[in-house]
Structure formats: structure tokens, C-alpha cells
Amino acid sequence: MTRQASDYRPCVGVVLINKDFNVFVAKRVDAERLGWPSWQFPQGGIDAGEDAKIAALRELREETGVTNVTVLAEMPDWLYYDLPENLATNIWKGRFKGQRQKWFLIKFTGQDSEINLEQPTPEFCAWEWIPLHESINRVVPFKIDVYKQVISYFSKWFE
């Protein structure tokens, strides 16, 4: 399927890994409203003219408070997902069909006490560290294919 990039919101995703080779997942504040097990990796939009790596670090800080990190890797390709119709017509004023995402593997070098979900516009209400491959069981159904690709690509850093 050919996709028009302009139909998809440019976004970054972050797989945050700790010293024990577990990954950070967080439960969305709107999980109950969505009606799905809505845990995910940090992600968010890229501002106009913003570098994707800078956006990834900014989104990570804005959503989790985390700043003590090292960027380990970047996926070379953009990954796309479509929103379910009922969400696509309501989110971002119906402008986008979904998101196109640039993904980063980032190592957390701080202490867990640095993680703070109580941000000015909180996205998450809970978090935990889990094995990479378990993250696929937490994500909303429409993001599963993207998560499979992300897990496959970054798996070599977990061996």
C-alpha cells in the first residue's frame, strides 16, 4: 500500500532501555476511554523544522521527566500506522490518517527516581520496566505491526 507522507503526522518513538536490558512502558491516561490495554513506549510529534533525534529527546523529557540518557540507535526507515476511523476523525482535527514514526533506542543512565509522569500535560498514569518482547502484549491493536518492526530491529542490542 502506498501512503502519502502528508496524510500522516510526523512523530518519534522512543524505546528506553535500562541497565538491566528492560524497556520502559507507560499506561496512557486515556486507556479506559479507548477501551484497550493502552500501554506504550514514549512517543510524540515532531515540531516543524525540528530534527527527529531532538524531538525524541524532547518528547521523552516532556512525558517522563527523563534527561539522563544516551542515544544508541535510530531506525533508518519511517514506520506508519493508521488510526481506527473513530479516532482518526477526532484526533488532530481529522487532518491525519495516522502517524509516521522515526524510532530511537535510548539508554537510560539515570535513577528510577528521575522518572516523573506528573507533567504539565500528563500522557501517562503508570509505568514499569519490562522485557522488550513483552511490550507487544501491552500496545493497542492498531500499533502492533509497528511494535513488531521496532522490536525486530532493536532486538540485536538486547542479545
Residues 84 and 35: beta-carbon distance below 8 Å: no
3-state class (DSSP) for residue 151: helix
Could you tell me which residues come within 8 angstroms of residue 45 by beta carbon, excluding any fewer than 6 positions away?
Answer: 9, 10, 11, 12, 55, 59
- 30 band by pLDDT with thresholds 50, 70 and 90: confident
pLDDT value for 100: 93
Could you tell me which residues come within 8 angstroms of residue 110 by beta carbon, excluding any fewer than 6 positions away?
Answer: 66, 67, 68, 69
pLDDT value for 108: 98
Tally helices (H) and strands (E) across the chain: 4, 8
- Quote the pTM value: 0.91
Q: Which three cell numbers stand for residue 79?
A: 514506520
Q: How many CB atoms lie within 10 A of CB 118?
A: 8
Q: How far is CA 76 from CA 34, 52, 61, 91, 103, in A?
A: 31, 12, 23, 27, 8
Which of 3.40.630.10, 3.90.79.10, 3.30.70.360, 3.40.920.10 is the CATH number of 5-158? Answer: 3.90.79.10
- 1 band by pLDDT with thresholds 50, 70 and 90: low
Q: Is the pLDDT of residue 45 over 80?
A: yes
pLDDT in tens, 68-95: 999 999 999 999 988 877 766 666 565 7
Q: What is the enclosing helix (H) or strand (E) of 58?
A: helix 52-64
- 37 band by pLDDT with thresholds 50, 70 and 90: low
Percent of the chain whose pLDDT exceeds 90:
69
Structural domain boundaries in the chain: 5-158
The rounded distance, in Å, linking the Cα atoms of 97 and 54 is 24
pLDDT in tens, 92-137: 565 778 889 999 999 999 999 999 999 998 999 999 999 999 999 9
